[in-house]
Structure formats: structure tokens, C-alpha cells
Amino acid sequence: MILYLIPAVLIVLSVIALGYVVIKNLPKLKIINVESMPKEKETKVRNRIMLDRLSRKLISVKKTSQKLAAPMVKKVSIKANKFYQRMIDLEKKTLENQPLKKIDVTQKINDDLAVIEKLISEKNYDQAEEMCIDILRLDEKNLDVYEHMSEIYIAQRDYKKARETSRFLLKLLQKHGAETDKHRLANCFTNLGGIYQLENRNTFALTNYQKAVELEPNNPRFLDLLLKISIILKNKNLASQVFNTLKEADPDNQKLPEIKDEIDNIADQPAPPAGQ
């Protein structure tokens, strides 16, 4: 602020100095009854010349002062703008770093999850993944996020990341205990089984489907997945057992006759050991 005043003070001082000169010389320039005094015209012209010269000096000093002050004013203005911008950035950073209240965090996460689901439906996987990572910065054990991330990686055919994410989610769910959310745990087993199946690691897929069925023995979807992988592995005995369970759990399934034919066509031979 002081730097802003320096040019103005210089100009004001210059004006005062010139004003003082003018006032000091006014007695000499004062003319009484100039029309009746001798050498009237000469005095009048001389006075006008002196006043004109003082006026030109005043204008010259003013311009010179403005010219000299302009770079300083410009420099001060640039520094002031930079300082103002730093203050804005600092305030913004401070607000961003302020911890959100728990209720605010929960609301933000729920809002972001809704956006992530929309992004996935639109196949905007990169942006969806970025938003998932942002949520994990707020809640590193958010189960919904890991489910979405696994879905994203599967869609991108990055099966390794999908598998690692699902396995980590599985550990989180098991830590909470199967009884707290049995269906979610079973669903995680089937998702992991599906990833193994995409990697052509069918024995591992079988193991995970079996664990899902252990948690929900009458779930038609889980039974169907286990039945299909049993047929792929040509495990006729297991396929027959699962078929009978599926028939009881979902008697209206129109694909049952077709599935029965597939099982009957499996040669009677020892089934390969299930993966661990």
C-alpha cells in the first residue's frame, strides 16, 4: 500500500512546489490599473510570458513524474495481483484441507458412487476409476468402491487387477464376518470365480462357486454357475448333485432339460481335483 502512495506523493509535492513559486511571484505580477500605467503593454506581455512559462513547467514536471512513476506503479500492481492470487490460492487450499464432517463425507461418497455407476454404464472407465480412488482417500475400506473397481477392471479385461481387487474385498468381508452380510460375501466369491473363469483357471473358479453355494445353498444363480463349471470340468458326479439342488430351488427353469442332457453326455471318468 505504501508503494502505491510514492508516485502520488511525488506528483503532489511537485505541484505544491510550483504553486509556491507562482504565489511567491504573484506580487511581482500583480497589476493595478494596468490600463493607466506606463509601459502597460510591455508589463502585460511580460506577465503573460512568465505565467505561461510557469504553466509549461508545471505540465512538464507532471508528465515527467507520471513517466517516472509509471514503471513503479506497474511493478507494484503486478506484485499486488500476485499477492492477491496467492491469498486466494491459500484460502482455497485451506478450505480443501479442512476435514469434512462425518455426515458430509458420507453424503459425498454416496453422491460419488451414483456418478461412478453412471460412468460405468456409459463405459467411461478411466474417470470412474479416478473417482473410486478419490473415495478410497476418504474411506479406504469402502466395500462398494472395491466392487465397482473390480467391475471396471473386468470390463477393461485387466483380469489381474480385477482378481487382486476382488481378493482384497473378500478379505474385508471375511473380516467383518460372514453372518453380517452373507449374501455380499457369497456374491464376492462368485465374482472372483468368474474372474478365474475368464483367465481359464476353471478349478479355481469351481472352488469359489462352491464357497458361494455353501453360504446360500438355494440361490439359483450361484447353483447355475457351479453347475456350468462342473460340466466344463466334466465332473459328472458334482454336476448331477448340483442339478438336483437347482431343480428343487428353481423348478421353472426352462433350461433344465438341456442341462440334463449335457450332464448325461459327460463320460464316466474321475473328475479332476478342485483347485485350492
- Give me the pLDDT at residue 229, please: 97
Domain 174-276 - what CATH class? mainly alpha
CA atoms within 13 Å, Cβ hemisphere of 70: 6
The arithmetic mean of pLDDT across residues 105-131, rounded, is 94
The arithmetic mean of pLDDT across residues 227-241, rounded, is 95
**pLDDT above 50 (res 99):** yes
User: How buried is residue 123: exposed, middle or buried, by Cβ count under 10 Å (0-12/13-18/19+)?
Assistant: exposed
- DSSP letters for 35-65: TTSTTHHHHHHHHHHHHHHHHHHHHHHHHHH
* Distance from C-alpha of 95 to C-alpha of 91, rounded to nearest angstrom: 6
* Distance from C-alpha of 192 to C-alpha of 190, rounded to nearest angstrom: 5
pLDDT digits (tens, 9 = 90+) for 38-48: 555 555 555 55
User: How buried is residue 57: exposed, middle or buried, by Cβ count under 10 Å (0-12/13-18/19+)?
Assistant: middle
Q: Which of 4-8, 116-120, 131-135, 200-204 is the least confident region?
A: 4-8
pLDDT band at 106 (very low <50, low <70, confident <90, very high): confident
Quick check: helix, strand or coil at residue 155?
Answer: helix
Task: Please state, rounded to an integer, the average pLDDT across all residues of the chain.
Answer: 78
User: CB–CB of 247/224 below 8 Å?
Assistant: no
pLDDT band at 104 (very low <50, low <70, confident <90, very high): confident
pLDDT band at 4 (very low <50, low <70, confident <90, very high): very low
- 139: Cβ–Cβ under 8 A, 6 or more apart, which residues? 105, 109, 145
Domain ranges of the chain: 2-97, 99-156, 174-276
Which amino acid does the sequence have at 191? N
